[in-house]
Amino acid sequence: MIQQERNLGEQAIDKVAEIALASQLDESESLSVTVQSEPIQLAQGEVNAVTIEGQGLVMKQDLRMEELQVHVKDISVNPLSAMFGKIELNGPALGTARAVLKESDINRAFNSEYIGDKLRELKVDRAGKLLTVDIKSVGCKLLPSGRIALEAEVFVRETGSTEKIYFTAKLQVDAGGWAVSLEDVEYPENQEFSPELTAALAQKASEVLNLRNFELEGMSLRIQQLNVESGLLTVQAEAKVEQFST
């Protein structure tokens, strides 16, 4: 009987948390929240662990993740809220996260309206002259070598010309896990592209790939490891959860 009551209590909190997270998404192929805690622990404001698992998650900005797994342990919650099936944290909780983005997810992000707005009216200094450029038609490939390939068209407003850029690079975790940069840039053999425009594209690509745009409300991800393979980007991160949106 006690086991049954425990399961019913956990299931009620699970469902409320799932609804709260789902409210931040435009769609999801699957989404589950599992809360592990005994009734007496909940009454004392203690939760052993919360696990979030999702597939095919589409954020409000039309950004998509193939997979997301978050596991947080030793959580302090408001016991009164927990009695009514709501997880209200007394303070931040730390855990681990794993996110998987397909190549198509990254291309979708680059060409979304949300990210596209950030790729327009960029200021680039070329030989002492300040240019205004728009980065368009961004294409990304995740290579078996562990490198990322980027190509784009860059429209220079002052000249009315469109220049093409193509390069490969390695993803590097920077700033203690809070940023991503593109390092070891290589161009195709016997081809050269504008270094200023390349730098502008690399900077914006870094901003997309650092996952800040993919975070759920109340949760931040501190990247620990990036793994690039053919068609897939896997991110291991430290998760900091401050609240479950309601």
Q: Give the H/E segment covering residue 4.
A: helix 2-22
Collapsed DSSP state (helix, strand, coil) of residue 96 = strand
DSSP annotation of 221 reads: E
Instruction: Measure the CA–CA gap between 218 and 65, rounded to whole angstroms.
Output: 18
Residue 212 half-sphere exposure toward CB, CA atoms < 13 A? 12
Between CA 199 and CA 208 the distance in angstroms is 14
Q: How far is 55 from 90, CA to CA, in rounded Å? A: 29
Maximum C-alpha span of the chain: 77
Give 93's strand partners: 241
pLDDT digit string (tens) for the chain, length 246 residues = 344 444 555 677 777 778 878 888 888 999 998 888 887 888 888 889 989 999 999 987 788 999 999 999 999 988 888 777 777 889 999 999 999 999 999 999 998 888 889 899 999 998 889 999 999 889 999 999 999 999 999 999 999 999 999 999 999 998 788 889 999 999 987 777 788 889 989 988 888 887 777 888 888 999 999 999 999 999 999 999 888 655
Pull the structure tokens for residue 145.
């070598």
| Closest of 140, 160, 159 to residue 150, by C-alpha | 140
CA 69 vs CA 12, 56, 217: distances in Å: 20, 12, 15
- Say what the pLDDT of residue 216 is: 83
Asked whether 140 and 172 are in contact (CB, 8 A), the reply is no
Report the Cα 13 to chain-centroid distance in Å: 25
Q: Which among 27, 97, 93 has a CA at the least distance from the CA of 64?
A: 27
- The answer to whether 9 and 42 have CB atoms below 8 angstroms apart is yes
Predicted local confidence at residue 130, as pLDDT: 93
Specify the 3-state DSSP secondary structure of 111. Answer: coil
In this structure, are residues 180 and 206 in contact, taking their beta carbons and an 8 Å threshold? yes
Question: In the prediction, which pLDDT does 5 show?
Answer: 45
Q: How far apart are CA 223 and CA 47, in angstroms?
A: 25
Looking from the CA of 232 toward its CB, the CA atoms found within 13 Å total: 9
